[in-house]
Amino acid sequence: AAAAPLRARASVVRAPRFDAAYPARYGAAVEARLTSGAALRAEAPDALGDPDNPISQDALIAKARALIEDGGRSPAQADRLIEAALALPKGGALRAFAAALAEAPAP
């Protein structure tokens, strides 16, 4: 929400070097011009989560938790959904995951 006013002042531009690397790579760069006139720039040749730029399980869980809670679910509901999802590769029941996914958002 705090970044919403910046959207009107932002623009997205395709960069030929990133287009040329696609679809093998999903890179991007960002540049921010400060009111002082200085420019800050960051670049990632591979998107976070790609095999060449893996995301840790802790970071992935934190992102999932934030998205689940931003979607209107309570922290307890987020915990149940994340636990059920993490259990699946270890033989966890799909029924438990489906039940956690089907829970109505918190009032």
What was the pLDDT predicted at 107?
76
H/E element holding 32? strand 28-33
Mean pLDDT along residues 69-80: 94
What tens digit of pLDDT does each residue of 8-62 get? 889 999 999 999 999 999 999 999 999 999 999 999 999 888 988 999 999 999 9
Question: Does residue 98 surpass a pLDDT of 70?
Answer: yes
Instruction: Output 14 or 4, whichever has higher pLDDT.
Output: 14
Cis ω for the linkage preceding 89 (within 30 of 0): no
pTM: predicted TM-score of the whole model, two decimal places? 0.63
List alpha helices for the chain, DSSP H: 4-7, 16-21, 57-70, 75-87, 94-102
Q: How confident is the model at residue 1 (pLDDT cuts 50, 70, 90)?
A: low
